[in-house]
Structure 1
Amino acid sequence: MKNILIPTDFSENSWNAISYALSFFRKVNCNFYILHVSPFEEMIGGDSFYASKDTVIEKHTHNNKEQMQSLLKSIEKLPLNTKHRFFTINEYIFFVDAIRKQIQEKNIDFIVMGTKGASGLKEKTIGSNTGDVITKVKCPVLVIPEKATYTKPKEIVFPTDYYMYYKSRVLNTISEILYMNNASLRVLHIAKKEQDLTTLQVKNKDFLDDSLDNLDHSFHFLSNTNMEEAVQCFIESREINMITMIAKNLNFFQRILFHPMVEKISYHTNIPFLVLHE
């Protein structure tokens, strides 16, 4: 039984994440925990906060319960899956604290979150809540961009520089996703120019190769000074349906996931990201 946490703000983006998650885990017995976190600022605003705290919470609780019931009715209209159970949760604390609380209490295996993506150069690729969860919460996060529609993953690209040791926690999750979808992993190394790997890189690459021995995988290299363009080029040249990354090497990680993008970089808006933590 998998425990899946899906934060929602009742937007189209969060509904897209719910819809994707139900399809992605369609063959898996799952408890889905639908979480709504009310903006903490609204709970502490105003001079009369201490006098009206109970009233404010009661009002928020009533409104949120109504929205949750409406959301559950929408879920019930989707094709029935007897493997799935749904639970709703409302929290009135800071967003990341609410996520951490549920992970601990519900033994969460995956977080699935929607994100609006970027529509211009000045906008961030990943919304602030999603960005906070990715960087501050140590749990696998499946990020579903606004234009992503579910397609069973055939190929998953794994951009890496081979400078890190790949721990079993990360490899187990990657293997699980590959098995679940009968998918192939494409390990992608991007560098400004082609050159021999260091001793450490060779060691880590060989270990990764051995660890994936029973799974369909291959290694690829692209020379490009622009990492986002290299990822986009690789995606367009293959049947890539998902990107997976390890949130450790922040410079490398953020350049691909968070960097403000130009118009020709579209993977931020239509390709799901699976972010893993050691």
Structure 2
Amino acid sequence: MMKKILVPTDFSVEARHAFEVALVIARKTGAAVKLLHVVETPYVPDFSVTGDTNTPDGMQQVYVLQLLDATKAQMKKLVDAVPHEGVNVLQEVDVDKPIFKIKRTIQEEAIDLVVMGSKGSSGLDEFLIGSNTEKVVRTADCPVLTVKSGQPPFDVQEIVVASDFKREAGQAMERFKAFQELFGARMHLVYINTPGAFESSGNLHRKLEEVAQKHGLQNFSINIYNDTIEEDGILHFAQDIRADLIMMATHGRTGLSHLLSGSIAEDLVNHTNIPVLTFHLK
């Protein structure tokens, strides 16, 4: 049961699209949507949003308070500009390091899903992408959905689940199954077979069938896709079936497991216009 969706925002076009996508999911689940903007200033250690300050320089306090007021006005403008009837939209502006505040909010408010905007390979946005999003994707205790702007309305019919179907066959698959059922989508399990980690198609089919049976999957397909590297294989397969969403599990700081080595989740976010849902395994 999804109760609260977090949307970190910097008021960019990409962040607005993330808000719109979160509203689509909220209407299907009854969840509230929380918009969060984090003001990062050089004076963070000496300042609280209540206006208390430990610094003798009152000008610093005035500067931050004015910045907060302007940011709250931007937040109201964003909420007013996006139709959100029927959804409980919460707003927060705080002074902190973005990644610290996002992680703390996820934990303290039992966030079920984070939706973040991405500019992709044309350039990494200072707040939404780069180190902050990478850290959220790798360490969040809940699924993180990364979306691009300029995409059609968020309607998920074809989902790719790219995996080695080992560790993530448990914890993550149940999360992915719930997302599939939410949209009534078809799930395409895919194993990318590469020259460096080749397995016979027969063995792989049996492995994927066992996963599907164990988790009671319905409306799914099993696919073995050959490519030179895993990232290219996931992208090419997703394009071939015209996927609306790619889902994968990450393994935190160590990157992704056998199949999803290195920083493939982050690479996919940057190199495809298809939304990517990642779930960090403990």
Same fold per TM (> 0.5)?
yes
Residue 244 (structure 2) pairs with residue 236 (structure 1): no
Per-residue deviation at 1:27? 2.2
The TM-score with structure 1 as length reference comes to: 0.82
1:137-216 maps to which residues of 2 (within 5 A)? 137-168=140-171, 170-193=172-195, 194-196=198-200, 205-216=208-219
Question: Structure 1's 43 and 50: CA in aligned 2 closer, same or farther, altered over 3 A?
Answer: farther
Quick check: 2:139–2:280 contact (8 Å CA) kept in 1?
no
Q: What amino acid is aligned across from residue 76 of structure 2 in structure 1? A: Q
Give the 5 Å matches for 1:254-273: 254-259=262-267, 268-273=271-276
Deviation at 1:50, TM superposition (A): 5.2
Deviation of 1:150 after TM superposition, in Å, equals 2.4
Q: Which amino acid aligns with 2:186?
A: S
Alignment of 1:51 onto 2:51 = no
Give the equivalent residue in structure 2 for 1:7: 8
Q: CA shift at 1:272, angstroms?
A: 0.5
Distance change in 2, residues 1:218/1:41 (3 Å): farther
1:36-185 equivalences in 2 (<5 Å): 36-41=37-42, 43=44, 51-52=57-58, 53-75=60-82, 78=83, 80-82=84-86, 84-119=87-122, 126-168=129-171, 170-185=172-187
- Give 2:20's aligned amino acid: S
Deviation at 1:95, TM superposition (A): 1.2
Structure 1 gap segments, 5+ residues each? none
Across the aligned residues of Structure 1 and Structure 2, the Cα RMSD in angstroms comes to 3.1
Aligned partners of 2:207, 2:43: CA distance in 1, in Å?
48
- The alignment partner of 1:65 has SS state of helix
Q: Distance in 2 between matches of 1:267 and 1:241?
A: 16
**Structure 2: stretches of 5+ with no match in the other structure:** 47-53
Aligned residues: 263
Distance (Å, rounded) in 1 between the aligned partners of 2:123 and 2:104: 34
Determine the structure 1 residue equivalent to 2:51.
none
Structure 1 residues 253 and 240 mapped into 2: Cα distance closer, same or farther (>3 Å)? farther
Is 1:30 aligned to residue 37 of structure 2?
no
Displacement after TM superposition at 1:38 (Å): 0.9
Change beyond 3 A, Cα 1:28–1:162: closer
1:195-222: CA deviation from partner (whole Å, max 9, x where unpaired): 23899x7886454212342421121111
- Which amino acid in 1 is paired with 2:105? Q
TM-score by length of 2: 0.81
Summarize the Cα distance change of 1:94–1:214 in structure 2 as closer, same or farther, 3 Å threshold: same
